[in-house]
Amino acid sequence: MTAEPTVLVTDIAWDTTEIEAAVLAPAGARLVLAERGDEEELLALVPDADAILTCFAHVTAAVVAAGPRLKVIGRYGVGTDNIAVDEATRREILVTNVPVYCTDEVAEHALGLLLCMVRGIHRYDPAVRRGDWSLATGLPTRRVAGRTLGVLGFGPIGRRLAERARAFGLEVIVHDRNPDEVAADGFEPVGLEELARRSDFVSLHLPLTDETRGLVGARFLDGMRPGAYLVNCARGAIVDHEALARALEQGTIAGAAMDVFEPERLPADHPLLAQPDLLATPHTAFYSEESMQDLARLASENVAAVLGGRRPAETVNPELLARPRWAHLAP
């Protein structure tokens, strides 16, 4: 009799694994939820695991190598920079993700951050609470309509933000590696330097890769308009934090809103956090009650598919599907 497959859940950002358990039940899977999710604990648990579901915990190369039964590593989310994908691929372990679960949430969060900065909301609220009712506290404020938003990255989230921005009267320009897709959707594709030069607001929606790491550094920031704002709800390491701190301190740009940092948590004494023109949120753009339910279900469905002999909806290393080990997976 074949033993029931074991799914190791490294960490979750919600209360229970009830959704995961329901989705994985037809595959006869048993869930094991790690208590801490650090490498030491995962190394102890992974030898008995057939699959991993991970949110923020790091599934390192050592953890991957310590799981001889592993078939699939499923990410609760879009990016897979917390997973040793190269090591998993070398061992013919499928890696899956959920690229579309929080499209509305992140687009809404980015737009909300933009509006807060431009209208001075993040300054007025704490001022009123301490008894300061002065109009000058949040000045200067600007009109959003008629200005230009530069969207850097035109995946599902960048596209959704661009669509919503039009409703606010913003002109939208986009930099993406597929300019034809941008134009086909009715937006203007531009080069990176032109986007920096023309945009009143720049919003980042790129994955973290070797090419995008540090992409928004001193050169990009120096090329932005003096009154421009930067929004990052993608990955912290896309932005050079020291360069951004200098740009804010020197007034190179008017302000920045960051939902993601490198590292997380950013040290309390980091110079970026000392900048009054920084609006920070603690990596919350992805979250809503609805998106968390979607995420738990979709991530679990990817893992359940592999354990049940079917191809997952999303595969980060799809080249493995042509290997003999996975020839049995049904479409």
Sheet holding 30-33, edge to edge: 30-33, 6-9, 51-54, 72-75, 94-96
Place of tokens 């596209």: 159
Give me 326's structure tokens. 């996975």
Annotated catalytic residue within 20, 283, 301, 314: 283
Residue with tokens 């993700």: 97
Number of separate helices (H) and strands (E) present in the chain: 12, 12
CB 73 within 8 A of CB 49: no
Active site residue 35: no
Whether 137 and 123 have beta carbons less than 8 Å apart is answered as: yes
DSSP state of 246: H
Selection from 148, 158, 263 nearest residue 206 by Cα: 158
Among 63, 83, 65, CA closest to 74:
83
Whether residue 235 lies in the annotated active site? yes
Active-site annotation holder among 69, 264, 290, 325: 264
Q: Please confirm, yes or no, whether 283 is among the known catalytic residues.
A: yes
Q: Which two tokens stand for residue 306?
A: 């592999």
Q: What's the DSSP call for residue 4?
A: P
Which residue out of 58, 75, 123, 235 is catalytically annotated?
Answer: 235
Query: Which residues does the annotation mark as catalytic?
Result: 235, 264, 283
